Amino acid sequence: MDREIEIIAEEMGTERDKLLPFMQEVLRCKNYLSEDSLRDIASAFQLSSAEVYGVASFYSFIETSPPGRHIIRLCKTVCCDLKNKDLILHTLERHLRIHLGETTADGKFSLLSTNCIGWCHESPAMMINDKIYTRLTPESTLKALEEWD
């Protein structure tokens, strides 16, 4: 078992109700949950790998493949749809030269969609890493990307 995961297990414990916070702590240390990490977490919690992967894949903020240095999460709720989210997505895809679910060739940006990020009243919205951007237009979207160049 990975030493970092062992240390987290010692510090946090491995009761079932701690699985999600445990995964979040592993993410903080490793940036994503690799297959090996998922197996080690399953072993620590005495769960099947499938069950642990099921939890990890359910949450859009848990990465199971290496993300770019900056993760763009575009909200995909109905509110954002009604406020031209598709125009924002097209702007991001065109500018970054990637499609939703991909990472730029230089590893700088990953473009993902996510369920509600809690800014429906100011949609369309996206996050880059932990920073929220709201009332997006194509122009403000490109300006937001410039902050991360």
Q: Give the model's pLDDT for residue 149.
A: 82
- H helix intervals, 13-48: 19-30, 35-45
* CATH H superfamily, domain 70-146: Glutaredoxin (3.40.30.10)
How big is the CA angle at 37 (ends 68 and 43), to the nearest 5 degrees?
160
How large is the average pLDDT for residues 60-77? 93
Q: Is 118 exposed, middle or buried (0-12, 13-18, 19+ CB in 10 A)?
A: exposed
Model pTM score:
0.83
Given pLDDT bands bounded at 50, 70 and 90, which one contains residue 126? very high
Residues constituting the chain: 149
Provide the pairing of β-strand 126-128 with 131-133: antiparallel
Give the largest Cα separation in the chain, rounded: 49
Per-residue buried b or exposed e for 120-141, using 16+ beta carbons within 10 Å of the residue's own CB:
beebbbbbbeeeebbebeeeeb
Q: How many Cβ atoms sit within 10 Å of the Cβ of residue 86?
A: 11
Q: What pLDDT does residue 60 have?
A: 84
- Domain ranges in the chain? 3-58, 70-146
Structure tokens at 118: 């809690």
